Amino acid sequence: LTVDMLASGLWKDLKFKAYNFDALGAPPARGHLHPLLKVRSEFRQIFLEMGFSEMPTNNYVESSFWNFDALYQPQQHPARDAHDTFFINYPAKSTKFPMDYLEKVKTAHSVGAYGSKGYGYDWKIEEAQKNLLRTHTTAVSARMLYKLANQPGGFKPAKYFSIDKVFRNETLDATHLAEFHQVEGVVAAVGLTLGDLIGTIYEFFKKLGITQLEFKPAYNPYTEPSMEIFCFHPGLDKWIEVGNSGLFRPEMLLPMGLPSNVNVIAWGLSLERPTMIKYGFNNIRDLVGPKVDF
Ligand SMILES: COC[C@@H]1[C@H](c2ccc(C#Cc3ccccc3)cc2)[C@@H]2CN(C(=O)Nc3ccc(OC4CC4)cc3)C[C@@H](O)[C@@H](O)CN12
């Protein structure tokens, strides 16, 4: 039945089938939750079940001090140059830091402290003041650990997590963009060991249905020992890298004022990789960004 048939009166000579009042209407178009946000909720639920508290990550702009220096990452480290990091022009620098803590960080990096000989370079505050887009949420972990060490009543054990955007000035490809979401877990307590780190990672991935894990020695400037985490992914029927982990170094923890018998274990992964696998995306652009065909 068309407008022309109605207007011309043609409809009078046509036979129509009986109207089916029980026919289901076409499903109306509706909104959808974004796959990344669905996986973020799953990870958040897992951390909450494990007794972790979410860190405040609502600051994409960070100082080099908290993003690198507080993590004992030396000022000449390649990750700190503009090829890997997005530095901010305005406001170009941060100037407000806990000065007694800053002095301890300077000493740890330059002449060394707490039994470590340091890196032996001339640490410059101007380098630490440079603002950037955070390259990892470990910068937030550093802020939280400093607060934990200096809170009224002193240190108490804690379990923190973060799931938020980080930015790296990297070559883009089908699985890497200049920004991605980092997932990070941190546990601070007296006498934690590498076994506690491995056990916690097993618990975390078990809740994702992953039980076959392998750990490979690795290097991070801020953790010692460090381990890359691999899992046998039943869906992909192969071993894949699922993250990185380690115990934060004393050269990072002691300048904060944490008691020397406190250890901090931590691990990290991304949100995009598990989401791409779960929903079968091969190109990360199908997951984020405008739907355009280049
Ligand atoms: C520049 O890229 C870094 C990112 C991202 C990453 C790597 C390390 C950390 C970290 C850390 C850390 C270490 C010590 C202390 C604190 C934090 C965080 C994110 C993923 C980490 N990766 C990653 O997420 N892989 C991954 C994770 C989960 C998954 O599926 C779930 C099991 C069901 C499948 C894959 C490994 C690779 O994708 C890697 O190529 C890319 N990595």
Residues 156-187: pLDDT tens digits? 999 999 999 999 998 888 888 899 999 999 99
Q: Which of 26-30, 38-42, 62-66, 69-73 has the weakest average pLDDT? A: 26-30
User: Ligand 1 atom 41: the closest Cα is on which residue?
Assistant: 270
Q: Is any ligand 1 atom within 6 A of the Cβ of residue 221? A: no
| Ligand 1 atom with least separation from CA of 186 | 16
* pLDDT grade for 95, boundaries at 50, 70 and 90: very high
For the chain, give the percent of residues with pLDDT over 70: 98
Distance 250 CA to ligand 1 centre (A): 24
Is the Cβ atom of 246 under 6 angstroms away from ligand 1? yes
Q: What is the dihedral of CA 95, 100, 101, 103, to 10 degrees?
A: 80
Q: Which long-range contacts (CB under 8 A, 24 or more apart) does 146-151 make?
A: 146/70, 146/98, 146/101, 146/256, 146/257, 148/188, 148/258, 149/253, 149/256, 149/257, 149/258, 150/98, 150/256, 150/257
Q: What is the mean pLDDT of the chain?
A: 95
231 Cα: distance to centroid of ligand 1 (angstroms): 12
User: Quick one: pLDDT at residue 293?
Assistant: 61
- pLDDT at residue 292 in the model: 61
Q: How confident is the model at residue 43 (pLDDT cuts 50, 70, 90)?
A: very high
Phi/psi region, residue 65 (left: phi>0; alpha: psi -120 to 50; beta: rest), is: alpha
Is pTM beyond 0.80 here?
Answer: yes
Q: Give distance in angstroms: CA of 268 to centre of ligand 1.
A: 6
pLDDT of the residue at 215: 98
CA 274 to ligand 1 center in whole angstroms: 9
In the predicted model, what is the mean pLDDT of residues 4-13? Answer: 95
Phi-psi category of 115—alpha, beta or left, where left has phi over 0 and alpha has psi -120 to 50? left
The pLDDT of residue 174: 81
Does the interface predicted TM-score (ipTM) exceed 0.95? yes
- How confident is the model at residue 127, as a pLDDT? 98
Does residue 218's CB lie within 6 angstroms of at least one atom of ligand 1? Answer: no
**Whether residue 242 has its Cβ less than 6 Å from ligand 1:** yes
Q: Is the CB of 277 under 6 A from ligand 1?
A: yes
- Given the CA of residue 270, which atom of ligand 1 is nearest to it? 24
User: Which residue pairs from 258-261 have beta carbons closer than 8 angstroms and sit at least 24 positions apart in sequence?
Assistant: 258/145, 258/148, 258/149, 258/155, 258/188, 259/155, 259/190, 260/114, 261/190, 261/191
Question: Pick from 251, 256, 257, 209: which is nearest to 233 by CA?
Answer: 209
How much of the chain exceeds pLDDT 90, in percent? Answer: 88
pLDDT of 294 above 60: no
Contact 107, 118 (CB under 8 A): yes
